[in-house]
Amino acid sequence: MSKQLLLKGGRLIDPASRADSPADVLVDDGRVAEVGPGLDGTGAEVVDCDGLVVCPGLVDLHTHLREPGREDAETIETGSRAAALGGYTAVCPMPNTDPVADNAGVVEMVAARGREVGLVDVFPVGAVTLGQRGSELAELGAMARSAARVDCFSDDGRPIREARLLRLALEYARAFDAVIADHAEDASLTDGAQMHEGEVSAMLGLAGWPAAAEEMVVARDLLLAELTGGRLHLCHVSTAGAVELVRAARARGVRVTAEAAPHHFSLTDEAARSYDPVFKVNPPLREKVDVEAVRQGLADGTLDAIATDHAPHAREDKEVEWATAPPGMLGLETALAVTLTDLVEGGYLDLATAIERLTAGPARCRRVPGHGGPVAPGAPANLAVFDPTAAWTVDRARLASRARNTPFHGRELRGRVVHTLLRGDFTVRAGQATR
């Protein structure tokens, strides 16, 4: 069990309690024992946090750990290590594994393997439909009652095409206050699409995915959430129109939450000019107007959370011609720094709001007990400590993920995780994974 630790001299930012001030944090037996300035560290190991920010451990609502089935791209162990190095203490892996996580057996295996690795808490997302085929509902109730206690369901990577089926899912999920998270895409408009439809796709001669293909499904989903009273979560919102639809729905009381991925507020479709498949992602990188809208949505709270959509791929799959490469990018180890560099230094968010969108915000979107704060006596000591001014250059060869498909390779970012603690134990110390 954890010994006493005193995180001394840091700036505590705790969105759940609205704290943002110099404070020490005393950790005892895996829990926060005391918070305040000038705490007595007698008998505790003192960890110098001068110049550093102490905050709740980050929470990722949307990640792909690829286990079971594609352990050549990522495993629960390698993905958990990458997450810890990024400051995360909780991750929610999506169900598009092999076999699909559409039953109690698979989600329990994923959760159990996460506990065995012990670097982050793993909260599986269950599939909405059997095999993610979109034809009939999966065993939502069985997954909710399982040892994994699943309370979020998604066919991520595939939209729920039938409105009738989404309505049934939203209604059924209400029985156990679960969330239905949808990947908003009208597949009839994106068949064969290679990137965002716009000026760049026309110049490159690549089939485009129009923004309307996302916005049409977002509009449908919001109407069904309003009809059923169910809890809807929208994955990786990427267009200006989708942001505005969510904003209007929230104003009229629809039970909706939404996330944005770092690549959708930091990169545009201009990156596709390189034909480097590392920039191929689903939804695709959009235009400047969409990037600006996503940033504003995070700033005003229309979008609740920053979620990585960490999507590792084996090199032999991803490092091929653009047309045949699968979509997806790494995100766990760079999300905090991209947020600080592009949103905080860019003047869109203050530091406290940025931390909220990475901690308490995602924790509101589904049940992740013990995560997202508050940093208060009695709470589990799930914490991140980072240097907000540290500059570093992303090197794909040095990432902990088994994959290498980061779109930020070679870019200088600001903000680096120094320590991560899970229930008072270091999973990352002095910038290095402890195991």
Concerning whether 102 is annotated as a catalytic residue, the answer is no
Q: CA separation (Å) from 280 to 136, 327, 344, 375?
A: 30, 5, 26, 38
List the beta bridge partners of residue 126: 153
- The CA angle 7-339-19, to the nearest 5 degrees, is 40
d(C-alpha 401, C-alpha 317), whole Å:
16
Joined tokens for residue 275: 């034909």
Whole-Å CA distances, 178 to 123, 222, 248, 365? 13, 16, 23, 10
Q: Say if residue 220 is exposed, middle or buried (CB neighbours under 10 Å; 0-12, 13-18, 19+).
A: middle
Residue with the two structure tokens 């439809």: 197
Helices H / strands E in the chain, number of each: 12, 19
Cα angle value 136/142/144 (rounded, 5°): 105
Q: Provide Rg for the chain, Cα atoms.
A: 21
Nearest to 13 by CA among 398, 402, 344, 396: 344
272/97 Cα distance (integer angstroms): 28
Handedness of CA 342, 345, 346, 349 (dihedral sign): positive
Task: Please give the Cα distance from 329 to 267 (Å, whole number).
Answer: 12
Residue 359 exposed, middle or buried by CB count within 10 Å (0-12, 13-18, 19+)? buried
Candidate list 309, 317, 342, 425, residue with the active-site label: 309
Tokens matching residue 410: 């070679």
DSSP 323: G
The terminus-to-terminus CA distance of the chain in angstroms comes to 16
Residues catalogued as catalytic: 309
